[in-house]
Amino acid sequence: MDPIEHLRQDYRSGTLDTEDLAGTPLHTARRWLDEAVAAGLPEPTAVTLATVDEDGLPDARVVLLRGLDDDGLVWFTNRSSAKGAQLAATPTAAVVAYWPALERQIRFRGPVELLEDAACDAYFAARPRGSQLGAWASQQSRPVPDRAALEARVEEVAVRFGDGSVPRPPYWGGYRMTPRQVELWQGRPSRLHDRLRCTRQDGGWVIQRLQP
Ligand SMILES: Cc1cc2nc3c(=O)[nH]c(=O)nc-3n(C[C@H](O)[C@H](O)[C@H](O)COP(=O)(O)O)c2cc1C
């Protein structure tokens, strides 16, 4: 028998009920994110972003959330990457955050749009120079012969920009998801977890408790 079959943990650190939802579900999501940051968890803003490719095959990868408020979720990437091509063809996504130490998961689903240029420029300008050069050097998701080829490309780009400022590459920017659905999940003992699914309807949110 595979030893991972026996790994088992009971979740007991919290509970979740409708009265815990103050404001919109996005406010609660933001509070949970802030609590993950305050708890000092590693990479508290790392979330899994799922998209679909042109054959309808799902794809998923981790990105860092750079915004979460009533307007939705924001992340940044290379728009010519695999995820960028997938979002251009099918501008919808699912995002899931999981904070094991807090025994909490949040799932978001909804349409995705390009973030405005001004917000992309401001974020790119605030990135460390190494990341700015990396954005120019990396054709994200494309094959590269070896590590040396990538590093040579970074060197080339560094020479090109010299001591000057590094502008945002035209193919690099942000996305915003406006969630249609937000599900908050709090682990409970014996797998009888608390789940509240919040769905936008008529300008408000409908909240349903789901079976675990
Ligand atoms: C903790 C963590 C954070 C990451 N953050 C980002 C990010 O914010 N943006 C990004 O483009 N890739 C990020 N990545 C890399 C992606 O997971 C992925 O490898 C890359 O975006 C290429 O994905 P794609 O080929 O599906 O487009 C991160 C990976 C990890 C593990």
Q: At residue 176, does pLDDT exceed 90?
A: yes
Q: Say how far apart CA 133 and CA 70 lie, in whole Å.
A: 32
Which ligand 1 atom is at minimum distance from the Cα of 82?
27
Residues belonging to the active site: 191
Question: What average pLDDT does this structure show over 82-98?
Answer: 98
Mean pLDDT (the chain, rounded): 97
Q: Say how far apart CA 148 and CA 102 lie, in whole Å.
A: 41
Q: At residue 113, does pLDDT exceed 90?
A: yes
pLDDT at 153: 98
Q: At residue 131, does pLDDT exceed 90?
A: yes
Question: What average pLDDT does this structure show over 30-34?
Answer: 98
* pLDDT band per the 50, 70, 90 thresholds, residue 150: very high
Q: Say how far apart CA 47 and CA 198 lie, in whole Å.
A: 19
Q: How would you class 40 by CB atoms within 10 Å of its CB: exposed for 0-12, middle for 13-18, buried for 19 or more?
A: exposed
Residue 13: phi and psi, rounded to 5, are -85, -15
* pLDDT band per the 50, 70, 90 thresholds, residue 111: very high
Q: How would you class 112 by CB atoms within 10 Å of its CB: exposed for 0-12, middle for 13-18, buried for 19 or more?
A: buried
Question: What average pLDDT does this structure show over 184-188?
Answer: 98
pLDDT at 22: 87
Contacts of 74 by beta carbon, 8 Å cutoff, 6+ apart: 65, 66, 67, 68, 115, 119, 174, 175, 176
Q: At residue 145, does pLDDT exceed 90?
A: yes
Q: At residue 61, does pLDDT exceed 90?
A: yes
DSSP 8-state secondary structure symbol assigned to residue 33: H
Q: Which domains does the chain have, with CATH numbers?
A: 8-127+170-209 (2.30.110.10)
Global confidence as pTM: 0.97
Which ligand 1 atom is at minimum distance from the Cα of 46?
1
Pocket test for ligand 1, best of 48, 54, 62, 83 (most atoms within 8 A of CB): 62
Pocket test for ligand 1, best of 64, 65, 68, 120 (most atoms within 8 A of CB): 64
Strands (E) across the chain are located at: 46-52, 58-69, 72-78, 92-99, 104-114, 172-177, 181-186, 194-201, 204-209
Question: What average pLDDT does this structure show over 67-86?
Answer: 98
Atom 7 of ligand 1: nearest residue by CA position: 63
% pLDDT > 90, the chain: 99
